A and B are shown apart, each in its own frame.
Chain A
Amino acid sequence: MTPSLTALVLSFLGLILVGLPIAWAMIASVLVWVTVTGNWYFLPIASERIYQGMDSFVLMAVPLFILAGEMVNAGKITDRLLNFANAIFGWMRGGLAQVNVGASILFSGITGVALGDIASLGRVFIPSMISQGYTPAYAAAVTASSSIIGPMVPPSLIAVIYGSMSDVSIGALMAATLVPGLLIGVVQMGLVAVQARIYDFPRVEMDRSPRAIGHATGHALVPLMIPVIILTGMLGGIMTPTEAGGIAAAYALIVSVVLYRSIRVSALADVFSRSALFSGQLLIIVGCGAAFSWAMGMENVPRLVGATVENWGLGYFGTMLVFNLILLVLGMVIDPTTVIILFGPLLSSAAAHAGIDPLHFGAVAILNLNVGLLTPPLGVCLFAAEKIAGCGLWPLLRSTAPFLLVTLCMLVLVAAFPEISLWLPRVLGF
C-alpha cells in the first residue's frame, strides 16, 4: 500500500470508529488523502463527485420507496396486515411468534427497511407476546431476527443502491433475493415451531371461521397490492424501478388519503418532510461514497483487489468463503448500505474473476450484510428491539443465537448453491 492509500483507509476507519457520521468521514478522509498526495487540484473534483454520485435516475427509487413506506405507516395500514397475518399463521402452536415472523414477510414487502419493521411491528408484537407469557428476551429476539427478512423481499432499498452502484439489474437483484428471503422466513418459522413444542407456547385465540378469515384477507388485499405493483411493474418490463416506486407511492397516497381517509391532508406535509429527511441521510452517503470510491480508484484499489484475489487462486468456493467472512466482519461494524456503497462493486468485480455470477454475489452480499444487523457491536436491529422490550442485551443475545444460527445456515446454502438465488431471475428472463 502506498502512504496516501494507507492515510485514506486509516483516517476513514479511525473517524467512523470515534463516531463521526459516515458521510463526513468519507469526505474528511479524502481531504487527508489529498493532503498526503499534495495534488490540491483533486479537491474540486471530489466536491463534484458528490453531486454526480447522486445525479442518477435509478437512485430516485430510494426516496420513492421510502415515501411509499412512510405513507403506509402513517396511514395505519399496519393493523390490516396484522389481522391478515393472524388469520393465516395464528392457528399454529406459538401462534403469536409465528405471526410475528409472517408479518415481517408481508410487511417487508411494503417498507423494505429492517429498522422500520421493528419500529412499527415490534411496538405491537413485543408487548402482546410478553402479555401472553413469552419472555421479553424471546419476544425481542423473534422481532429482531425476522426483521432482517425485510431487505430481502422487494421492494428493497439496499437492492436499489446495489444496482445503481454496479451493472447488475435492480429488478433481477430483487428477484434473486426474494427466494432466499422467503426461505429464511420459512426456516425461522420452523425454528419457532420446534421451540413452541419444547416450551409449550400458547396459540392465538381468535374467530377462525371462513367468513372471518375472508374478511381479514379482503381488508389486507389493498395494502398488499403495493409489492404486487412494484414486482409486476418492474419484472414485467412495464416500468423502471424508479417509476414503480413512484406509482407505489401514488397508490399508497390514494389509498390512505382518499380511500381509507387515515391520513389527513394536513398530515401529508409531515409524511413528505420525514421521507425527504430520511432519504437525504442515505443519499448523502451515496454521494460522499462516490467521492471516496473515486479516491480509491485513483489509488488503483479495484485492480489491486482483483489481482490479489487472482493470486490467491482460491477458486469458486474459497473466494466465496473469504468474501463472505470479509462481509460478515464489515457488516458487524458498519451498516449494510455503507458497506455496499464502499465495497459492493469492488468485491463483485473481484468475485467475477473467480467465476462467481455478479447477480448471485449480489444476493449473497445483501443476505450476508443483513445478518450483521443481528450481531454486536453494531446490531441496530437488536438494539431497537431491546429498547422496546427492555430485556437487557445478554438475555436477548442468548435468545437470538438459535435464529442467528439458522439464518447463517441459510447464508451458507445460498452461497454454495447459486440456483437458489438465480432460479427466479432466470425464469423471469433476466
Chain B
Amino acid sequence: MTRMARIIIDFVDKGLRAISALCLVVLSTLVVFQVISRYGWGSVPLFTEETARYAMIWMALLAAAIGVRDAAHIRIDFVPSILGAVSPVALRALNVALDVISLAVFLTLLWFGIDSMIFAAGQTSDGMQIPLSYPYSVLPISFFFASVFAVLRIVALDART
C-alpha cells in the first residue's frame, strides 16, 4: 500500500510543480506580449491582463500547497531550533502540533473556498467572459492538496523535512 501511495504522491507533487511553473511561463509571456502589442500595434487585447492575473493566483496558491510538502514556508524558527537543541522529542511534538494547526487552517479554507467559488459562479470575467468560479476554483483545489500534504506530514508517511 505504501509503495503505491508513494508513487501517487510523487506524481501529484510533480504535476503541481509543473502546473505552477507553467502558470509562470504563461504570465510572463502575456506581460511581455502586452508591452509588445502596445508599442507594436497600439492596442492591448482585454484578455491579457486578466489572464495573467489568474495565472499568477494559480501559480501562487499551487506553490503554497507544494510549500507545505517541502516545509518551505517563511516562518520564525527561533523557538523550534532552541527546542530541538534541548529535546528532539519535544521538537517532534511541536512540529506535529504545528502541522495539526495548519491542517485545521487548510480544511477551513477548503470548505469556505468552495463557498467563494459557488458565489463567484454568478459573475462573469470582463476579459475572457468566463464564469469567475473557474479562476476561484484554485482556492479549494490548492487547499485540498495542502490538506493532503499536511496529513502526510502528521502521519509521517512523508519523510521530507
Known contacts A21-B102, A272-B25, A283-B56; decide if A47 and B61 are in contact (CB<8 Å): no
Query: For residue B49, which residues in chain A have a CB less than 8 angstroms away from its CB?
Result: 57
Bound CA span A19–B81, Å: 9
When chains A and B are docked, how far (Å) is the Cα of A247 from the Cα of B21? 18
B28:A17 contact, CB within 8 angstroms: no
A64 to B24, CA, bound (A): 8
In whole angstroms, how far apart are the Cα atoms of A174 and B154 in the complex? 43
With contact pairs A17-B79, A43-B108 given, residues A23 and B35 touching in the complex (Cβ less than 8 Å): no
Interface residue? B105 (CB, 8 A): yes
* CA–CA, A51 and B32, complex, Å: 24
- 0/1 interface trace, chain B 66-77, chain A, CB 8 Å (1 if under): 110010111111
CA distance A377 to B53 in the complex (A): 37
Q: A428 CB to closest chain B CB, in angstroms?
A: 21
Interface residues of B in 41-67 (CB under 8 A from A): 49, 52-53, 56-57, 59-64, 66-67
B70 contacts across to A, CB distance below 8 A: 277
When chains A and B are docked, how far (Å) is the Cα of A48 from the Cα of B78? Answer: 32
What is the bound-complex CA distance between A22 and B74, given in angstroms?
Answer: 6
Number of residues in B with C-beta < 8 Å to the partner? Answer: 52
Chain B residues with Cβ below 8 Å from A54 are 56-57, 60-61
A274 CA to B101 CA in the complex, in Å?
A: 27
Among B32, B66, B105, point to the contact of A280 (Cβ < 8 A). Answer: B66
- Contacting chain B: which of A96-104, A238-246, A259-267? A238-246
User: B112: CB under 8 A from chain A?
Assistant: yes
Give Cα distance in the complex from A334 to B63, angstroms. Answer: 22
Q: B65 to nearest A CB, angstroms?
A: 9
Tell me if A21 and B74 are in contact (CB < 8 A): yes
Q: How far, in Å, is A116 (CB) from chain B's closest CB?
A: 14
B31 touches A246 (CB 8 A): yes
| CB within 8 Å of B: which A45-66 residues | 46-48, 50-51, 54-57, 59-60, 63-64
Partner of B64, one of A59, A281, A337: A281
Given the complex, which residues of A lie within 8 Å of B108, measured CB to CB? 27, 31, 43, 47
**Cβ–Cβ < 8 Å partners of A56 in chain B:** 53
List of B residues within 8 angstroms of A283 by Cβ: 56, 60, 63-64
Q: Assuming A24-B105, A63-B56, is B80 touching A19 (CB within 8 A)?
A: yes
Tell me whether A48 and B21 are in contact (CB under 8 A): no
- Is the CB–CB distance between A280 and B20 below 8 Å? yes
What distance in Å separates the Cβ of A243 from its nearest Cβ neighbour in chain B? 5
When the two chains form their complex, are residues A378 and B78 in contact, meaning their CB atoms are under 8 A apart? yes
Contacts of B23 in A (CB 8 A): 276
* Residue B134 at the chain A interface, CB threshold 8 Å: no
Q: Taking A280-B20, A280-B59 as contacts, is the C-beta distance between A27 and B67 under 8 angstroms?
A: no
Q: Does B151 contact A (CB under 8 A)?
A: no
The closest CB in chain B to the CB of A64 belongs to B28
Name the contact of A20 in the complex, choosing from B28, B34, B98, B115 (C-beta under 8 A): B98
Which A residues between 8 and 43 are near B, CB-CB below 8 angstroms?
15-24, 27-28, 31, 43
Name the residue on B nearest A251 (C-beta).
B32
Tell me, rounded to whole Å, the shortest Cβ–Cβ distance linking B31 to chain A.
3
- For A249, the chain B residues whose CB sits under 8 A away are 28, 32
Alpha-carbon gap, A250 to B30, bound state (A)? 11
Closest-CB distance, A266 to chain B (whole angstroms): 13
Given the complex, which residues of A lie within 8 Å of B75, measured CB to CB? 16, 19-22
User: What does DSSP make chain A's interface, helix, strand, loop or mixed?
Assistant: helix
Binary per-residue interface labels of chain A (264-298) against chain B in the complex, 1 for a CB within 8 Å, 0 otherwise: 00000100110111011111110100000000000
Say whether, besides A15-B101, A281-B73, A283-B56, A246 and B21 are in contact (CB < 8 Å).
Answer: no
Name which of A23, A56, A277, A279 has the most chain B CB atoms within 10 A of its CB. A277
Q: Which residue of A lies closest to B91 (CB)?
A: A19
Question: Per a CB cutoff under 8 Å, which of A15, A22, A239 touches B35?
Answer: A239
Q: Chain B 1-44, CB within 8 Å of chain A: the 1/0 string?
A: 00000000000000001101111110110011011000000000
Contact (A285, B57) CB under 8 Å given A31-B108, A276-B20: no
Of chain A, the residue at the smallest CB distance from B80 is A19
Residues on B with C-beta less than 8 A from A210 are none
In the complex, A338 has a CB within 8 A of chain B: yes
Beyond A15-B101, A273-B17, A275-B24, is A55–B62 a contact (Cβ under 8 Å)? no
**In the complex, how many angstroms separate the beta carbon of A19 from the nearest chain B beta carbon?**
4
Is B94 in the interface zone, CB < 8 Å from A? yes
Do B76 and A284 touch across chains, with their CB atoms under 8 A apart?
no
**What's the nearest-Cβ distance from chain A to residue B123, in Å?**
12
Residues of A near any B CB (own CB < 8 A): 15-24, 27-28, 31, 43-44, 46-48, 50-51, 54-57, 59-60, 63-64, 67, 239, 242-243, 245-247, 249-250, 269, 272-273, 275-277, 279-285, 287, 333-335, 337-338, 377-378
Residues of B within 8 A of A (CB): 17-18, 20-25, 27-28, 31-32, 34-35, 49, 52-53, 56-57, 59-64, 66-67, 70, 72-80, 94, 98, 101-102, 104-105, 108-109, 112-113, 115-116, 119, 136, 139
Question: Which are the 4 A-B pairs with shortest beta-carbon distances?
Answer: A280-B63, A246-B31, A21-B73, A283-B60
17 intermolecular pairs with C-beta atoms under 8 Å apart:
A19-B78, A19-B80, A22-B74, A23-B64, A28-B104, A43-B108, A44-B115, A51-B57, A54-B60, A59-B56, A63-B28, A246-B32, A277-B70, A280-B20, A281-B74, A282-B74, A283-B60
